[in-house]
Amino acid sequence: MAKDAEQKAVTQGSIRVTRSRRPAWWGVIGAAILLALLATLPFVVYADVTDALVNVFILLVVASMWNLLAGYCGLISVGQQAYIGSGAYTVLILAQNGINPFVAIPAAILVSAILSIPVSFLVFRLRAEYFAIGTWVVGEVFFLGVARFKSLGGGTGRALPGLALMDPALRGAITYWSALVVTAAALLGTYLLLRSRMGLDLTAIRDNELAARSVGVRVSTAQRVVYVVSAAGCGAAGAIIIISQLNVLASAIFSVNWSAKMIFISLIGGLGTIEGPILGTAIYFAIQQTLAQVGAWYLILLGLLAVVIAMYLPRGLWGAISSRLHLQVFPVGYWLHNSPAPRSIPSPSGGGQGGGQ
């Protein structure tokens, strides 16, 4: 797609408009090769590697979904675990009724998305700052509601039926591929959403909500669409979580710790870019693996790191990298080129280069 846009570069007068400063086709080819390589992994490496990667993919999906909400709409949610949990419990309920958990993943996405629509009308009544705690309350209500049902495990947790007889190696491989597909779809979906007309609206909201509103951007519609998309992605992640763990505990799946993970990953990597959560997930996972033995310390360290980065590098590590190197893997903004002169200037209206100006 990047290549298409590159070729469809608009020529107006002597100014050429492209999606990125440098040709972006290498990004598409690189992503395709990476995806193909990742897809062959279950044949090449031991299950512990793919199992670890499933956890990385889950973190990447939820962080990307949170970042879509926070980085582009300015909506800070501390309650996305509501949709992670509803995705997981949708898979559980369907599996209890004899439906294969892998087949139930699309249903999990759908249920989370549908649940988020009435919730959005409620929480959108709260001003930006109180929206965070309002969504947190919603997460708690989902948790307390689910915990009341004995058939769903109440407060003690429930095993996922339907996969026990499956060969563990095959189950692990299909789980891994499902996680890979969900991750690729989440990133591609985010990318396409941001390149669409609505993406332009979202970029405008990110840079200045009031100004966006005044030039006719339908802010609340765009925000509601993103809220539903984000819930759908979190539902998919929840489905992968219950399938990879083979059981679900309400207090764990609805834990606000999920929000902490999403927030820290996005802050460290960089808010408002697609690449940020990818880099953030890598850093988060590395720190978690290194310091997991010393218990609570890794959360202290990650929290402090996120706080310092938020205060001194507001665009995160990826923002710092891309603004220096003009590097973009997922070009969603516009560049204006003065042709024939090869000089390029950043577009004042696109605002997409490395996370905006």
Partner 1 sequence: MNWVNAVVQGILLGGLYALFATGLSILFGVVRVVNLAHGDFAVLAAYLALVVVTTTHLHPLLTLLIVVPLFGVLGYFGQRLVIQKSLDVSPVTTLLVSFGLSVVIQNALLVAFSADSHSFDVGHLISASVQVTPQLSIAVVSVMIFLSAVLLLIGLQLFLSGTALGRQIRASADDQEAARIAGVDTHHVFGIAAAIAFASVAIAGVALGIYSSFDPSAGPPRLIYAFEAVIIGGVGSLWGTLVGGIVLGVAQTLGSQIDPSSGVLAGHLVFLALLALRPQGLVRARLAA
Which one of the spans 11-19, 29-37, 289-297, 323-331 is the region binding partner 1 (CB under 8 A)? 289-297
Q: Contacts with partner 1 in 210-269 (CB under 8 A)? A: 256, 259-260, 263-264, 267
Min dist CB 91 to partner 1, Å, is: 24
Is the Cβ–Cβ distance between 84 and 235 less than 8 Å?
Answer: yes
Distances from the Cα of 77 to the Cα of 34, 137, 158, 254, 355, angstroms = 31, 11, 27, 14, 20
What part of residues 103-132 is at the interface with partner 1 (CB under 8 A)? 122, 125-130, 132
- Does 144 interact with partner 1 (rule: CB under 8 A)? yes
As given in the structure block, the two tokens for residue 122 are 């409620």
Alpha-carbon span 77 to 80, nearest angstrom: 6
Part of the chain binding partner 1 (CB under 8 A), chosen from 2-10, 71-79, 182-190, 221-229: 71-79
Which helix (H) or strand (E) segment holds residue 248: the answer is: strand 247-248
- Shortest distance, position 310 Cβ to partner 1, whole Å: 5
Number of residues that make up the chain: 357
Applying CB under 8 A, among 17, 31, 110, 133 the residue interacting with partner 1 is: 133
Among the listed residues 102, 136, 191, 227, the single contact to partner 1 using CB under 8 A: 136
Q: What is the dihedral of CA 132, 234, 232, 125, to 10 degrees?
A: -10
Distance CA 19, CA 336 (A): 9
Residue 76 in contact with partner 1, rule: CB under 8 A: yes
- For partner 1, the closer of residues 138 and 179 by Cβ is 138
CB 259 within 8 A of CB 138: no
Interface residue with partner 1, options 36, 165, 311, 325 (CB under 8 A)? 311
Q: Is 319 in the site for partner 1 (CB under 8 A)?
A: no
Distance, in Å, from the CA atom of 269 to the CA atom of 309, rounded to the nearest integer, reads 9
| Sheet containing 10-12, strands listed edge to edge, beginning at the edge strand earlier in sequence | 10-12, 15-18, 335-338, 344-346
Contact between 145 and partner 1 per CB under 8 A: yes
Number of residues forming the site for partner 1 (CB under 8 A): 41
Give the footprint of partner 1 on this chain (CB under 8 A).
70, 74, 76, 78, 122, 125-130, 132-134, 136-138, 140-141, 144-145, 148, 256, 259-260, 263-264, 267, 295-297, 299-300, 302-304, 306-307, 310-311, 314
